[in-house]
Amino acid sequence: MEKGSRPAFRAALSLCGHYHAQITYLHVLENEHQDNMALQSLLKEEGMREMYENSLVDLKAKLEARIDKFFKEEVKEIDMLKEEQVSSMIREGKTWKAIVDAADEIDADVIVMGTRPHSGIGHALMGSTATKVMQNSKRPVLIVPLNK
């Protein structure tokens, strides 16, 4: 989980706690490696694809455990929210697209996400995930600014 997850998650807890809503914490594993031709060539070797897939299963299990611990730490501090109101989801893909698709899939009322400040040139060259989510989502997006 990224360092900035906590402030955005707390904002979601506060917002959803007032409305007795559900929170789905989404963690996206970027799959830029799919475009890496050298890696794709390596994965064609006998046994490599299975080893790769097993490592993803293991990684997802470890992430689920970390997310569960994170939930318990955060939820116990907020009286108006119960653990049952919080769930998690792990996806692979382009981060902005995975967020938009997951929000559509669960029919989210709002997307809450954090964003770090970017330099002007950095933002112009690659754009931010938050910007892409706002441009491509049919749902309202609450952006929580994160400190450097």
Mean pLDDT score, 77-105: 85
**pLDDT attached to residue 106:** 95
If one compares 148 and 76, the residue with the highest pLDDT of the two is 76
Q: Distance between CA 48 and CA 130 in Å, rounded?
A: 35
Model pLDDT for residues 29-54, shown as the tens digit of each residue: 887 655 566 666 766 777 777 777 78
Copy the structure tokens of residue 86.
């919080």
Model pLDDT for residues 95-131, shown as the tens digit of each residue: 999 999 999 999 999 999 888 766 665 555 445 888 8
Q: Distance between CA 134 and CA 128 in Å, rounded?
A: 10
Q: Distance between CA 130 and CA 111 in Å, rounded?
A: 10
Confidence of residue 1 (pLDDT cuts 50, 70, 90): low
Q: Find the DSSP H helices in 32-110.
A: 37-43, 48-75, 95-106
Lowest mean pLDDT among 19-23, 58-62, 63-67, 71-75: 71-75
Lowest mean pLDDT among 4-18, 53-67, 121-135: 121-135
